[in-house]
Chain A
Amino acid sequence: MATAAFDTPKLKSYPVSPLVQVGAMSHLKPFVANAPIQTALGFPGELVDDWQDKAIAKMGELLGKYRSLQVYMDACVHCGACSDKCHYFLGTGDPKNMPVARQDLMRKVYRRYFTFAGKHFPRLVGAVDLTREVLDEWYSYFNQCSECRRCSVFCPYGIDTAEVTMAAREIMASVGMGQKYSNEIIGKVHRIGNNLGIPGPALENTLEGLEEDTKDDTGLDIKFPLNVKGAEVLLITPSADFFSEPHVESLIGYAKVFHAAGISWTLSSHASEAGNFGMFIGNYEQMRNISMRVREAALELGVKRIVVGECGHAWRVAYSFWNTLIGPFDYLDPRYPVPQHICEVTDDLIQRGALSFDKDANDDRIITFHDSCNVARASRMGNMPGGQFVIPRRIITSVANHFHDMAPQTIHEGTFCCGGGGGLLTDDLMELRVKGALPRVEALKNVVDDHGVNFMATICAICKAQFTKVLPYYGFNMSMVGGVHQLVSKAIRLGDK
C-alpha cells in the first residue's frame, strides 16, 4: 500500500537529542480494524455511540485491575528523565513521543474523571475531557509506542509506558477502535494456529522441504518433526521461522542443536506460534487464550519440556507470564526451567561440552549483537540477573571468532527497540518504523565504521523482519541481520565428533 513520502533521518556519529518538533508525527496512525476483525475477537465492530462513557468506565475497570496503571497515573512528577529515552522521540522529534507526554495523553483524562484536582481545577493540572480529538490523538500516539520499556529503566518510579499503552489500546479496542494489524493477526492465531496464517498441511510441507534442504547441505537426516507424541521437547517458535528469511536459518540451527545433542523434539500444528499479540493490545483474556494453546499442545503430545525459539515479546510472555496464565507446569520434567529459551538450551549444551563447533566457518562475519527489548528488559535467561545479556553473547563467541558490542548505553538494559515491536510491524506505519530505528542504526554504524562489523545477530522475529526492511533505507544491506542460531547452524559439527 502507498504511504506518504518521508525523509529517512541522517545518521549522526554520536547521539543528539532532537529539538521538540510539535506535531511531527501527528499525521501517522495505523489502519483501524474493520467490523469482521473486531467482532471475531468479541470487540464492537465500530466506534459505539456512547463510546465516551464506555471508555471512561473501562478506564475505571482497568485502574482497579492493574496496580501498575493506578500508581503510574499518579506518580509522574514531569521530571523529564524519560524525555530523551524513547527511540521514536529520538527518531522523530515529536514531543508526544516522549514517554511522559505519551502517558500524559491518558493521564490528563484520568485526572479529569478520577481525581479531585482534575475534577475541580482541570486547567491547573492539565486535565481534559475525553473528546473525539483526544481519542484520535490516543489512537495515533498509543500506536507509536512499541512497549519496549526503555523508559521504565530510567524513570525514578519505574513508570512503564508499555503498561499505559496496553491499557489505552485495550480501552480503544473495547469501544470499537481496534488496530487492524494486531487484531487481524490475533484472529488468525485462533482460526489457523499461527500469526502468518499457515495451515497445518502447508506447515508439514514446509518442514519436509527443510529436511530435504538440510540433507542436501549436510548429508545428514536432520528432522523437523511435527506433532510427534512422546517427544521430549515441544518447541514453540514464531511462525516467521517457518517461512521468512533470515528467520528460517535459525530454525535450521535449532534442529541441528537438537540433532547433535540427541534430544527428541517436536513442533505442534495446534500451537505453531510463539508470538502473542494479546500482549500488544493489552488484553489479558486474549493473551491467556493464545497461551492456552501451548498448554493444550504440551499435554496432548505428552512432552517433558517446553522450549521457546528466538522471539522477543514471545519470550516475555513465556518467561514472565506463562506460569501465571497457563501454569502450573507440574506435568513437565522438574529438572528443567519452564519455559526454557532455545539459547539457554544451546548454551547449557556448550558449557557441558556436548556440542562442538568449527568457529572458522563464521570467519566471513564480523558480528555484533542487538539485545531485543523485551528479552532485555522483561525477562531473563539462566540463573542470574542479566543472563539474558550473557548467554546469547556466550553462544556467539563460542561459534564465531569476531565479535564487537555496540556502544554501552545502547545495549543490555539500555538497548534500543528495533522500531517495529509491540504491534507496529505493519506497512502503514513504515515512516515510524524507519525513523524509530534511527538510534539503533546509529549505534550499528559506529561498529561498522570502527570494526568492520557486517552482521547483526538478534533473537527476535520482529527485530529480524524490521531490520531487513528498514536497514536498506539507511544504506545497509538487509542480509546483515540474522539469528544467533543462524550462526550456530553454520559452525556446528554434526555426526563427526
Chain B
Amino acid sequence: MTLLTIFYTVLFYFATGVFAIGLVLKIRSYARAPAPLKIATTPAPVTNTGVGLRMAREVVFFESLFKSSKWTWVFGWTFHFALLLVVLRHLRYFQETVWLPVVLIQPFGTYAGFALVAALGGLWARRWLVDRVRYISTPSDHLMLALLISIGLTGLAMRFVAHTDIVAVKVFMLGLMRFDWQPVPADPVLLVHLALVAGLMIVFPISKLLHAPGLFFSPTRNQADNAREVRHVSAWAAALDKRS
C-alpha cells in the first residue's frame, strides 16, 4: 500500500469517527438539557401532530426563512436541496447493488451540482454586498463557503472537465467500508475533493453546521402550544416545588 492510500484511509476513518461521535455527543447534550418553560413562538400548533408538521415545513421548505428574506431563501433552499440530490447521487459509490432511487436520481444529481455552486455563490455574494450581513460575517463563515464551493467545483471538474476513474473510486470506498483496503486513485482533483469532504465531516460537530441537529431541538419550534392544558415541568424546576 502506498503512503497516499494509507493517508486517505486513515483520514476517512478519522473523519467518520469525529463526525459520528461528535454529532452523537452534541445531540445527547441537547437532548439532556431540560427545557424548563414553554416558549414556543406563537401562533404555534396546539397538538404534537401540528408540531410535527411545523417542523416538517421548516426542514423541507425553510418556512421561517421564507418569511424573512426571499433572496436568502432562494439561495439557501436551492443549496440545501441541491446538496441533498448530490449526496444521494454519491450513494452509488457506497453500494455494491445500487438502489433504484439512487439510479433514477443520477441525472438530476448532475444538474444539482451546478445549482449547488451557483447558490453558494449567491450566499457568498450576500456576505459582501449586504452591509448588515458583511458586518456579522466571521472568517469561518467565509471559509465554510470556500470549502463547500471547492467541493462542488472539484466534483464538477471530475464530471465535466477531466473524468476520474470512478470505478477505482468505488473500489476504494467499498474497501473502506469492508475493512479490505484498496488503493486510492492518484488523481489530484479527486484527492483534493476527498480531502475537503473529510474536512467538512471533521468540522461538522464543532461548527455552525450544528444548525442541522439544532433545529430539531429548538424549543420555540418543537413545543406544542398547550401550556394551560398540560402542566409542563422539568426536573430541576420540579425540585423547587419540593423545596417550598
Q: Which residue in B130, B206, B220, B227 is a CB contact (below 8 Å) of A152?
A: B220
The answer to whether B65 touches A81, judged by C-beta atoms less than 8 angstroms apart, is yes
Whether A184 sits at the interface, judged by CB under 8 Å, is no
Residues of the B chain whose Cβ atoms lie less than 8 Å from the Cβ of A115: 206
Q: B150 CB to closest chain A CB, in angstroms?
A: 17
Whether B133 sits at the interface, judged by CB under 8 Å, is yes
Whether B163 sits at the interface, judged by CB under 8 Å, is no
Residues of the A chain whose Cβ atoms lie less than 8 Å from the Cβ of B58: 156, 158
Q: In A414-465, which residues have CB < 8 Å from any B CB?
A: none
Count residues of B near A (Cβ-Cβ below 8 Å): 62
CB-based nearest A residue for B31: A67
Q: Which residue in A84, A158, A327, A413 is a CB contact (below 8 Å) of B43?
A: A413
Q: Which residue in A78, A149, A292, A339 is a CB contact (below 8 Å) of B41?
A: A149
Q: Which residue in A79, A117, A124, A380 is a CB contact (below 8 Å) of B65?
A: A79
Contact with A along B71-111 (1 / 0, CB 8 A): 01000100000000000000000000000000000000000
Known: A76-B211, A78-B208, A95-B132. A324 touches B217 (CB 8 A): no
The answer to whether B215 touches A158, judged by C-beta atoms less than 8 angstroms apart, is yes
Q: In A41-78, which residues have CB < 8 Å from any B CB?
A: 63-68, 70-72, 74-78
Q: B129 CB to closest chain A CB, in angstroms?
A: 11
Residues of the A chain whose Cβ atoms lie less than 8 Å from the Cβ of B39: 68, 160, 163, 320, 378
Contact with B along A99-129 (1 / 0, CB 8 A): 0110010000000000111000001111000
CB-based nearest A residue for B210: A74
Known: A75-B215, A126-B138. A67 touches B41 (CB 8 A): no
A337→B228 CA distance, assembly (Å): 7
- 7 tightest A-B CB contacts, nearest first: A75-B214, A154-B68, A158-B220, A385-B43, A81-B68, A80-B133, A67-B33
Can you offer 19 A-B residue contacts whose CB atoms are under 8 A?
A68-B220, A71-B30, A75-B211, A78-B133, A101-B136, A116-B206, A117-B206, A126-B139, A155-B64, A158-B41, A160-B41, A163-B39, A285-B240, A288-B240, A320-B227, A324-B227, A337-B228, A338-B228, A380-B46
Q: What residues of chain B have their CB less than 8 Å away from a CB belonging to chain A? A: 26, 29-30, 33-39, 41-46, 58, 62, 64-65, 67-69, 72, 76, 126, 130-133, 135-141, 143, 203, 206-208, 210-211, 214-215, 217-221, 225, 227-228, 230-233, 236-237, 240, 244
